[in-house]
Amino acid sequence: MWRGVLVGCVMLSAGCARAPRTTASADCKACHPAFYKRWSVSKHGLAMQPFTAELARVHFQPQTEGLRIGSATYQVKFEGAENFVEEDGPRGRRKLQIAHAMGGKSTYYLLTPMERGRLQVLPVAYDVQSKRWYDMAASGVRIHGDGAALPWTDPAFTFNTSCYGCHTSQTQTNYDTGADRYQTTWKEPGINCEACHGEAAAHLQSAKSGDPHIARMGNMTAGQRNEVCAPCHAKMSALSASYQPQQRFFDHYDLTGLESADFYADGRDLGENYTYTGWLMSSCVRSGKFDCLHCHTSTGAFRFAGNDSDQACMPCHQNVVKHSHHGPDSAGVRCIGCHMPTTRFANMRRTDHSMLPPAPKASQEFSSPNACNICHAEKDARWADGYASKWYKGGYQNGALERARLIDAARHGQWTKAREMLAYIRDAKSNAVVTTSLLRLMRPWDDPRKVPALMERLGDASPLVRAAAASGLAEVASREDVQAALLKAAADDYRLVRIRAAASLGPVNVAATGELEQSFLARPDDFNNQTNLGNFYLRRGKVEQAVQCFELAIRLRPDSVGTLVNASVAYSRAGRPADAERVLRQAVGFAPKNAAVLFNLGLLLAEANRNGEAEEVLRAALEVDPKMAAAAYNLAILVSGRDLKQAIALCRRAVAVSREERYLRALAQFLAKDGQIGEAKRVFERR
């Protein structure tokens, strides 16, 4: 039976709902009036608010002319109690009610109610600094992308799907998978007291007796304080919908690393202000002594007068003027100016929280930003590097460069550097974020040499690394030694590690199998979760359940190529080849140059004995990815009956990429059939 190749899925970039609680922030005011006053007008407290005529009057300039977006024109209109965006397009003119304003630090996004309970971000947004209206979706086009903006109606801009966890508190999305409908509720707009301090009902009952029953920042470790902030300031995926302050981040979330194109190869952030990945790369943070509250209050405001966050650095770092090589009144003498430079993306200002030193050499190689050229915009990175190399001896940039080169090579499948990648992974002193990123990026590298490194990292101090290592062992989980190691990992202290190990074990039942299944259901409206749940069921032989998950995922995200490919595998195993071909053709329509899509279609056609079509499609896959060993091998099988020389050449291509036994066996058989007995024996002996 045709098996095909499953395609992995990406992680989310937004927070997750938290369980409902019973206390409103106003209940805290009586005992904490000063803090309540600061919080109520803070960016956390006002992360989302109802849109009113007064809000429009105070915070927004009128939009004097319509903004052309696609085939329609959009204009914001404030008419007393009626505030709306007028759309004038091919379908005529309609009013889109403005129900809520979200954000407000750098930009305001406006929300409108739509069908089936959805709140959608409107196509025009407001830049707070420049006081201008702009195209919301176009501003968010990634640097490393196809340059096309998503339509504003895309699910990525649906509040209930993407934004809710970080802009409202104690939110329940209440998504009905059957009706494809939301009945979303929240206790309070904005980030309320309980979001950071936990449930407060018991605290209110016992405060007078001196029993706090509350998560107090002063009683937390530095790591716990960081993890309170992380759910809203991390690019991550949710494992549960029940995170509470003081619980461990990696029991409830997984973290996106440098495998994502939202980061430059050297770790600089090019996406939205999801700072936790870079934060964990910081040596200050890794020391265990530094946390978010050194610079910020829990309202999100700067802790120091005049926003002088450099004061947080002073206890450990002296002689700043000498170190900076800038005058005492220069912007270049500020710690955050050089180590936390601010850039803009999607009209949002973001600050680099990795606190790494400027690396002009990395800018030259990877086009990443550096603080020198942010200030000296008229100069180039070569000029900046001249001064940096003169002022700071000892090659301080070398470590960042070496890491970035490994990440970049892994992103592009350049396995000639695999030896260096493995050496980095096996070094227990390596940065956990970079190690995790390499482990994830190296999954397509089909080589047994990586297995010992993965096995070693199952014992790493970081649960993030252990989880990535467990995921990377999925392809060899049938090996007795690997299975034993994964069974041990499936009982790890951290949920993230347990469920990644359970996923790699596939059909093997462990206690964490139920946790794994529940983690996919934490976000039932997320197409990635439904796709991954389908993969889970498929590996366990639950084909009909897998089909249902894939069909729901396709309904949520019809253009997800990975989901379509995986659905084709499920349909094929369910004995529905016509549906398998249908979704693969749909995938080809979205991604005509995707080697995995073409390869799966070629296998399906070969299974149906449509050999001419199969050969054409497999050749197309091999043209897109000349190193796709499986495509070369299957093409060799197809042509061997009529062209033995070509079959041998194709098998040699496959073996040159991977010394998988079936490739070597086929090459030996074809050589023997061609009369090349001696070489056939040598190939057979090298298996």
- pLDDT tens for residues 191-227? 999 999 998 888 888 876 667 788 888 889 999 999 9
What average pLDDT does the structure give for the chain?
Answer: 91
Q: How far is CA 29 from CA 41, 195, 216, 220, 302, in A?
A: 13, 16, 16, 23, 22
- pLDDT tens for residues 60-110? 999 999 999 999 999 999 998 899 999 999 999 999 999 999 999 999 999
∠ Cα 332 354 365 (to 5°): 80
Tokens encoding 363: 């800018």
Give CA–CA dist 377/356, Å, rounded: 20
Identify the pLDDT of residue 145: 56
What is the Cβ-side half-sphere exposure of residue 16, based on CA atoms within 13 angstroms?
A: 30
Is the Cβ–Cβ distance between 165 and 231 less than 8 Å?
A: yes
**Residues shown for the chain:** 687
Q: Is 303 left (phi over 0), alpha (psi -120 to 50) or beta?
A: alpha
Higher-confidence residue of 27 and 484: namely 484
Q: What confidence tier does 432 reach under pLDDT thresholds 50, 70, 90?
A: very high
- pLDDT tens for residues 173-201? 999 999 999 999 999 999 999 999 998 88
Containing H/E element for 673?
helix 661-673
Torsion (CA) 485, 487, 491, 497 in degrees, nearest 10: 70
Longest CA–CA separation in the chain, Å: 93
- pLDDT tens for residues 484-505? 999 999 999 999 999 999 999 9
Identify the pLDDT of residue 578: 97
∠ Cα 532 533 537 (to 5°): 115
CB atoms within 10 A of CB 147: 7
Those residues with Cβ within 8 angstroms of residue 419's Cβ, 6 or more apart along the chain or in another chain: none
Identify the pLDDT of residue 517: 95
Average pLDDT, integer, range 274-297: 91
What does pTM read for this prediction?
0.89
Identify the pLDDT of residue 146: 61
- pLDDT tens for residues 577-636? 999 999 999 999 999 999 999 999 999 999 999 999 999 999 999 999 998 999 999 999
Those residues with Cβ within 8 angstroms of residue 371's Cβ, 6 or more apart along the chain or in another chain: 337, 338, 339, 341, 358
Tokens encoding 480: 């007795």
Identify the pLDDT of residue 402: 96
pLDDT at 483 over 50: yes
Average pLDDT, integer, range 407-425: 96
Is the Cβ–Cβ distance between 473 and 455 less than 8 Å?
A: yes
